Structure 1
Amino acid sequence: MGFEDTNMNWEKAAKGRVNQFHELEEFRLRAYESSSLYKEKMKRCHDTKILQREFQVGDFVFLYNSRLRLFAGKLKSKCPGPYKVTRVFTNGAIEIKGKEGPTFKVNGQRLKLYFGECHEISIIEVVYLEDA
């Protein structure tokens, strides 16, 4: 046995390694395309379930409170309110105000229109004048 017989054919091994690398790269690209198609399909499915809600300033709304989902109790409402819409933003955010307290912004998807009658409480000050 000569020295040449025990050595590997380095050129053949290098080409085999490069071919393996190319196969892995093609597999990665197919997986990436597959995942991007899956993401697009899931986005379309998710977007069909989003309700288009349009609110006007002055509307009364209920706010869904997702924190009450666990251990809420049977009689505790998940939708406190009604709140009054004070401002509508173009990105879907809505500014609302309760009967007392400051205004705050919420995602419009968390709101539902209140169709009942809601009368604003206005404080009237009565002043009695004495005859002089």
Structure 2
Amino acid sequence: MNAYESSRIYKQRVKAYHDKKLLKKDFQPGQQVFLFNSRLKLFLGKLKSKWSRPFTIKEVKPHGAVEVMDPESTTLERKWIVNGQRLKLYHGGNIERLTTILHLQDP
């Protein structure tokens, strides 16, 4: 019984420690955010970025849901409702994508 009790106490302490390290994300309408693309499995690669271009927050709904829209779409307004955990705040600046082509030759 002592082993079960000490295991329960240990789990409570570890959970409290990890919960203390979590940061609350507070989004406001008009902010720009990156969207985490977890469903893109077409191009496998360790160095490929999984964060999509900056989107603008249109509305913050209760329980962490956020409505984002694509500012670059000109024909029609594209908007999605996503989980706030899939967003990361965009602080501005240019997004630079580096591509390198290496031509290999047989020796």
TM-score (ref. length: structure 1): 0.51
Q: How many angstroms does 1:80 deviate by?
A: 0.2
Rounded to whole Å, the distance in 2 between the matches of 1:36 and 1:86 is 43
Residue 91 of structure 1 aligns to a residue in which SS?
A: helix
Match of 2:66 in 1: 94
Higher helix share: 1
Q: State the Cα distance separating 1:117 from its structure 2 match.
A: 6.2
Which runs of 4 or more aligned residues in structure 1 lie more than 3 Å from their structure 2 counterparts after TM superposition? Answer: 66-70, 99-102
Q: Is the 8 A contact 2:67 2:79 kept in 1?
A: no
Corresponding position of 1:64: 36
Specify the alignment match of 2:89 in structure 1: 113
Matched-pair contact (CA < 8 Å) for 2:65–2:81: no
3-state SS, counterpart of residue 58 of structure 1: coil
Structure 2 residues not aligned, in runs of 5+: 95-107
Gaps in structure 1 of 5+ consecutive residues: 1-26, 119-132
Aligned length: 88
Report the identity percentage. Answer: 44
Give how far 1:77 is off: 2.0
1:37-56 equivalent positions in 2, closer than 5 A: 37-56=9-28
- Name whichever structure is richer in strand by fraction: 2
Whether the 8 Å contact between 1:51 and 1:109 is mirrored in structure 2 is: no
User: Larger RCO: Structure 1 or Structure 2 (Cα < 8 Å, ≥ 6 residues apart)?
Assistant: 2
Shift of 1:105: 1.8
| Matches of 2:46 and 2:5, distance apart in 1 | 47
